[in-house]
Amino acid sequence: EAGVAQSPRYKIIEKRQSVAFWCNPISGHATLYWYQQILGQGPKLLIQFQNNGVVDDSQLPKDRFSAERLKGVDSTLKIQPAKLEDSAVYLCASSLDLGTENYGYTFGSGTRLTVV
């Protein structure tokens, strides 16, 4: 079974530039999560989708971050404009929810963003 695919693996941009990350979840996984992990901290949930609907975006800095999952499959996360403090690893995860059970929660390899 193919895992969660993310691209690019690394990105270096200057502050105030824009950047976009892509995630393709495991086939059939309805729930998709984007996390931000700053060095030395645990992953922080930015946004969670179920199919193409947003379940939770309470910690997404909406003035500069946006995300979409238009067809309920792959997703993009965008930052515009980037700030130095956005330097982090952006992790995508997906899972299969069946009623009261949750299966197969798996992370992609992440995109390491450096803002200079």
- Positions that interact with another protein (CB under 8 A): 31, 33, 35, 40-45, 48, 50, 55-56, 91, 93, 95, 97, 100, 102, 105, 107-110, 112
Among 94, 101, 87, residue whose Cα is nearest residue 47: 94
Tell the smallest beta-carbon distance from residue 71 to another protein (Å).
Answer: 18
Pick 76 or 109: Cβ nearer another protein: 109
Pick 17 or 100: Cβ nearer another protein: 100
User: Which residue type is seen at 68?
Assistant: E
Tell the smallest beta-carbon distance from residue 44 to another protein (Å).
Answer: 8
User: Which residue type is seen at 20?
Assistant: A
Instruction: Determine whether 14 is exposed, middle or buried from the number of CB atoms within 10 Å of its CB (0-12, 13-18, 19+).
Output: exposed
Q: Under a CB-based contact definition with an 8 Å cutoff, are residues 62 and 77 in contact?
A: no
In angstroms, the CA 30 to CA 4 distance is 13
Tell the smallest beta-carbon distance from residue 112 to another protein (Å).
Answer: 8
Tell the smallest beta-carbon distance from residue 34 to another protein (Å).
Answer: 12
